[in-house]
Amino acid sequence: MESPQTFVGIDVSAKRLDVAVLPAGTHFTVAHTDEGIASLVRRLLELRPHIVVLEATGGYEILVAYAMSEASLPVVIMNPKVLRHFAKSTGKLAKTDKLDARVLAHYAQAIQPPVRPLKDPEQAELATLMSRRRQLRDMIVMEGNRRRTSTPKVRGNIDQHLAYLRQLLKDLDREIHDAIRRTPLWHEKSEILQSFNGVGPKVSASLIADLAELGTAPRTQISALAGLAPMNRDSGQWRGKRTIQGGRPAVRQALYMAALVASRHNPVIREFYQRLRQAGKPAKVALTACMRKILVILNAMLKNRTYWNPQLPLAA
């Protein structure tokens, strides 16, 4: 008789890792240090788990996940919102580190999410740089908003801070640009993506950093990863509006900027956008459709390693 498969959930905090194991029902903790992570990996190798689930916790989980990945352990990092909905659906409303670890293990056992390769360290570093760029940009916007309602004395202080933030952003853009140029594969991808009228350096960098699957995944999967796949809302005879949801917000934001430009300056996308508008589609719906079309086209361009040719649009 075969022994039952083992499923592990790990709740990650700044100082410790709470680990739950099912179906054994055991629980243990280790320190969130290099030594603690190493001991955790050794113990999990002995358990030979079928799936190990961690919750995305703003970066605390990265070192743990990479350590397990390097040891060939089947690790999955899950969206915390998904896990919280799962906990509520099973009636678990209380929240402690120990309970959270058990919820993660239960999710691994019940859902068995697919194990996908983690980003390589260089890819993860580029994604971190892009995330920091978005933070700096948001801070510049917030300071600009404060400046408009500030007194003259405070305005001078804000101006100094804005100058500092803009210099940081400029330096970071140069670092991102250099990182992409240093990596031959990224450099080639960037040139192919930017050949599409509507995709500039910032959009291409975001797609390379945050959507590594671009160029390798099927069109339906790539749309779902970006959160641009229409979701049905039907019940009985009632048919609701199709909406998009989930996915990766940074990718959608980059594609939104690309769609804004392309709907005006790219002949293929402009014609597509105008046709939708003339058919009575709201501007937001038409623009979302353009985002999805652009994504599918870019996916095909990278897959075929083909530069954009408006006379011969790729069969996306």
Residue 188 lies in a domain: no
Residue range 256-267: average pLDDT?
95
12 plus 103 within the same structural domain: yes
Q: What is the share, in percent, of the chain residues with pLDDT greater than 70?
A: 92
Interval 238-259 mean pLDDT: 77
Residues 310 and 263 in one domain: yes
**pLDDT value at residue 221:** 87
Does residue 175 sit in the same domain as residue 152? yes
User: Do residues 222 and 290 share a domain?
Assistant: yes
Task: Choose one of 86, 111, 136: the last residue of a domain.
Answer: 111
Domain final residue pick, 65, 84, 111: 111
List, in order, residues 6 or more apart from 174 with CB less than 8 Å away.
none
Across the range 29-38, mean pLDDT stands at 94
pLDDT-derived band at 316, boundaries 50, 70, 90:
very low
Report the C-alpha gap between 267 and 308 in whole angstroms: 12
With respect to residue 1, please indicate whether it lies within any of the assigned structural domains. no
Q: In total, how many domains does the chain have?
A: 3
Q: Tens of pLDDT along 100-115?
A: 999 999 999 999 998 8
pLDDT digits (tens, 9 = 90+) for 7-26: 999 999 989 999 999 999 99
Residues 136, 159 within the same domain: yes
| Boundaries of domain holding 253 | 193-234+244-316
Residue 144 domain-assigned?
yes
**Same-domain check for residues 31 and 124:** no
- In a domain, residue 2? The reply is no
114-161 confidence digits (pLDDT tens): 888 777 788 888 988 999 999 999 999 999 999 999 998 899 999 999
Is the residue at 47 inside a domain? yes
pLDDT of residue 227: 85
* Total-model pTM: 0.73
Using 50, 70 and 90 to split pLDDT, how confident is the model at 311? confident
More confident residue, 269 or 119: 269
Cα gap 56→9, rounded to integer Å: 12
Are residue 105 and residue 143 in the same domain, yes or no?
no
Residue 12 forms beta bridges with which residues?
A: 17
For 280-294, write each residue's pLDDT tens digit. Answer: 999 999 999 999 999
pLDDT band at 88 (very low <50, low <70, confident <90, very high): confident
* 294 lies in some domain: yes
Shared domain for 95 and 131, answered yes or no, is no
Average of pLDDT values for 254-283?
95
Q: At what angle do helices 219-226 and 249-265 cross, to 10 degrees?
A: 110
Please count the CA atoms within 13 angstroms of the CA of 8 that sit on its side-chain side.
28
* Residue 55 falls inside a structural domain: yes
- Domain for residue 152, yes or no? yes
